[in-house]
Amino acid sequence: MANRIVISEQLCKGCGLCVVACPHNLIEMSTELNKHGFFPAVITPDAMLSCTGCTFCAQVCPDVAIEVFRER
């Protein structure tokens, strides 16, 4: 299984810290609001292919909205 992250759209407050933290600029902000009125962080399937599983994005997220699954 490849490295991947899962961002909880509903937990995300749209702070953008994970966007800055990703050393490969893989995360972006959605143009669609979540149900709380925030623009959540998202990652495209193409971008996910470059994820190294470093966990930086998850470590900086104040809302624990990101899970990282590392390649075995």
CA-based torsion, 48, 39, 11, 21: positive or negative: positive
Which residues are near ligand SF4 by CB under 6 A?
A: 5, 7, 12-18, 21-22, 24, 26-27, 40-41, 51-57, 60-61, 63, 65-66, 68
C-alpha radius of gyration, the chain, whole number: 11
Q: Which amino acid is at 36?
A: H
Strands 41-42 and 28-29: antiparallel
Smallest distance from ligand SF4 to CB 36, Å: 11
Smallest distance from ligand SF4 to CB 68, Å: 5
Smallest distance from ligand SF4 to CB 70, Å: 8
